[in-house]
Amino acid sequence: MISSCGKSIPAPSVTEAFPSVPPSTQTAKPTETPLPTVTPACISPKPTQDDVDRALSYTGETLNTPNWEQSYTVNETSVAVLWQDALQGALVYLEARIKPCGYEEPDLNREFSDENWGATFANYESYELTGECKNNDGLRLYEFKTQNQGFEYGIKYWIKSDTDTRVISLMIVFPLESQDMFDGYSISLFPAYPSCP
């Protein structure tokens, strides 16, 4: 640089021109454009009437008999339906779960994991996972043997990805002494996947 008097003036260093810039950052860097962030399009977690209707009709006519007593509740993020056959000591429990921002396979892996089965079977004296499988359509099946109040029960627990924001879980519980009925209802509810191979 040359002054108006014709003398040469040294150019200021970066730290002189911009005193707040620490010496370690004095090299010029290209301007980085921030990457766009993707915000998932979330829906309301509250169940709709369609969710209630879907849950109530999911088992079709299989449990539509006088010996199965049906009740249901609508929760903040799910619809739960319970069928009980007091004579057989059996029950079927369905839950239509809403995932407002969607879900992926790892989410289901975490939700239906060894750590969470303890909470699911908290009211049983003991439980044992005896089978675990998944078909090509992503339908999962977990099979258990449990004990409660001196009785042994067989439990099958199916998980179905119903839509991008909905998961259906269905649990069927029968005393082990009623194995034929247990198998029959399993076939009626999931004819293509009644048990693990």
pLDDT band at 32 (very low <50, low <70, confident <90, very high): low
157 vs 41: which has the higher pLDDT? 157
Concatenate the DSSP letters of all residues of 23-36 into one string.
GGG-S--PPPPPPP
76 vs 22: which has the higher pLDDT? 76
Number of domains in the chain: 1
Q: Distances from the Cα of 145 to the Cαs of 124, 148, 154, 168, 179, in angstroms?
A: 10, 10, 5, 22, 12
Length reported for the chain: 197
For the record, the structure tokens of 101 come out as 């921002």
pLDDT at 12: 37
**Range with the largest mean pLDDT of 9-13, 19-23, 106-110:** 106-110
Is 8 a domain residue?
A: no
pLDDT one-digit tens code per residue, 77-135: 999 999 999 999 999 999 999 999 999 999 999 999 888 999 999 999 999 999 999 99
pLDDT at 49: 97
CA distance 87 to 69: 11
Q: Which domain holds residue 127?
A: 49-189
Greatest distance between any 2 Cα atoms in the chain: 110
pLDDT at 41: 81
Compute the average pLDDT of residues 38-47.
Answer: 82
User: Are residues 131 and 143 in contact, defined by beta-carbon separation less than 8 angstroms?
Assistant: yes
pLDDT at 148: 92
User: Are residues 63 and 92 in contact, defined by beta-carbon separation less than 8 angstroms?
Assistant: yes
pLDDT at 34: 59
Q: Which CATH number belongs to the domain containing residue 126 in this structure?
A: 3.40.1000.10
pLDDT one-digit tens code per residue, 123-182: 999 999 999 999 998 899 999 999 999 999 999 999 999 999 999 999 999 999 999 999
pLDDT at 27: 46
pLDDT at 16: 42
What pTM did the predictor assign?
A: 0.77
What is the CA angle 131-137-133, rounded to 5? 10
Is 44 a domain residue?
A: no
Is 106 a domain residue?
A: yes
pLDDT at 31: 56
pLDDT at 38: 54
pLDDT band at 40 (very low <50, low <70, confident <90, very high): low
